[in-house]
Amino acid sequence: MRPLTCAAMCLAVISTASVVTAQSPFDGTWKFSVESTKLSEKSTMTLKDGVYACNSCDVKEGVKADGKDHPVAGSVFIDAKNVTILSDSAVVIVTKKSGKLVDSERVTVAADGKSVTFETTFVSASGQEGTNKAEAVLVAPGPSGAHKISGTWEVRKLVSASENSSLVTFTSTPNGLSMTDPMGNAWDAKFDGKDYPSKGDPGVTHVSLKKIDERTFEETDKRNGTIVGTMRATVSADGKTLSAEGKDPIHNSSWSATAIKQ
C-alpha cells in the first residue's frame, strides 16, 4: 500500500500596495484525524514459487523474493524492488529510486488468514520520512500453494500515521490558494480550473482548482495531463473542521477524512 496520499492544502494573507487578500475559511494548518479516515482500496498480491507480484501496483512485473534488489520498470516512483520472506505469514517489501529508499512495508497476515496489516515507512522526494499503518480484509483468496499474503485485500482502516504526513497548510492568494505540507509537497493555483505546477510528489505534476462556494473547493491532480486524483474539501460553518473526500481513478480507490484546524 502506498503511502496514503490525502490531498494537499494551504492559505495565508497576502497584501501589496494595491491589493489585500482577506483570509478565507481554508486558511491555516489542518491536521487530519486517523480515527475519521475511511479508505476503500484493493491490493492484489501473489507470492508463489519464490516470486512476488503485485497486480494492483504501478509495477506489476514479478521479482524474486530473495532479499535482493531487482530492477523494475514502468513507475515514476520506483526503479527497484526487494522482497524478503520473514515467515509463512509475513514479508517485507522495499522499494527504491536511484538507490534511495522510497518505502519499506511489512505485510503481516493474521492467524485466521482473513485480515492483513500493512506497516509502512516511506521517504518523500524531499527526503522527509513518514510512517503509517493500515488494516485490510481478504476479499478473494490467492492461488493454491501460495504464501499467505497472496490474494486480494481491501484496505478499510487507517490505524496510525505520523504527524508530518497528516498536516497540510493552506494560504489565501488573489483568487486562489497555495498549499504546503511537511513532506515537501507544494502548489499555488487559481480558482479558474487551469493547470498549475505541483512540486514534491513525482506522481502529480499539475493541479487545478475550482471554488464551489465560500467554504468548498475542488482539487484535480494530474500527471502529464492524465487525472490521477480528485478531492473536494469543505470547511465547517464554525471554521474548526475541514471535511475532505477524494478518489484515485487510476487505482479505483477512494478516501474520506476530517481535519482539525491547528
For the cut 50, the answer to whether the pLDDT of residue 251 exceeds it is yes
Same domain, 46 and 146: yes
Residue 229: count of CB within 10 angstroms of its CB: 23
* 262 assigned to some structural domain: no
Same domain, 46 and 134: yes
> What pLDDT is stored for residue 22 in this prediction?
58
pLDDT, tens digit, for every residue of 93-106?
A: 999 999 999 999 99
Q: Which residues contact 109 (CB under 8 A, 6 or more apart)?
A: 89, 90, 115, 116, 148, 149
* 9 assigned to some structural domain: no
Quote the CA–CA distance of 130 and 32 in Å, as a whole number.
Answer: 14
Same domain, 155 and 92: yes
Same domain, 104 and 194: no
* 101 assigned to some structural domain: yes
SS3 category, 163: helix
Same domain, 59 and 139: yes
* 5 assigned to some structural domain: no
Domain boundary among 132, 148, 163: 163
**Nine-digit cell string for 78:** 520506483
- % of the chain exceeding 70 in pLDDT: 92
Domain boundary among 163, 182, 210: 163
Exposed, middle or buried by CB within 10 Å (0-12, 13-18, 19+), for 234? middle
- Looking up cell 538507490, which residue turns up? 99
**What is the value of pTM for the model shown?**
0.88
Per the structure, the count of domains in the chain is: 2
Quote the CA–CA distance of 251 and 54 in Å, as a whole number.
Answer: 12
pLDDT, tens digit, for every residue of 181-221?
A: 999 999 999 999 999 999 999 999 999 999 999 999 999 99
- Mean pLDDT estimate for the chain: 92
Exposed, middle or buried by CB within 10 Å (0-12, 13-18, 19+), for 1? buried
Quote the CA–CA distance of 9 and 242 in Å, as a whole number.
Answer: 11
For the cut 50, the answer to whether the pLDDT of residue 34 exceeds it is yes
Q: What is the mean pLDDT of residues 4-29?
A: 52
| Selection from 48, 41, 42, 252 nearest residue 150 by Cα | 48
Same domain, 143 and 198: no
Same domain, 131 and 175: no
State which residues form the domain around 223: 14-32+166-256
Quote the CA–CA distance of 6 and 219 in Å, as a whole number.
Answer: 11
Domain boundary among 163, 198, 228: 163
For the cut 90, the answer to whether the pLDDT of residue 13 exceeds it is no
Same domain, 149 and 65: yes
Q: What is the mean pLDDT of residues 101-112?
A: 98
Same domain, 153 and 248: no
Quote the CA–CA distance of 213 and 218 in Å, as a whole number.
Answer: 10
Between 77 and 19, residue with greater pLDDT:
77
> What pLDDT is stored for residue 4 in this prediction?
44
Same domain, 52 and 89: yes
Lowest mean pLDDT among 16-20, 243-247, 248-252: 16-20
* Phi-psi domain of 224 (left: phi exceeds 0; alpha: psi -120 through 50; beta: other): left
> What pLDDT is stored for residue 2 in this prediction?
45
Q: Which residues contact 213 (CB under 8 A, 6 or more apart)?
A: none
pLDDT, tens digit, for every residue of 131-183?
A: 999 999 999 999 999 999 999 999 999 999 999 999 999 999 999 999 999 99
Q: Tell me the pLDDT band of 23, cut-offs 50, 70 and 90.
A: confident
Same domain, 73 and 137: yes
* 2 assigned to some structural domain: no
Same domain, 150 and 210: no
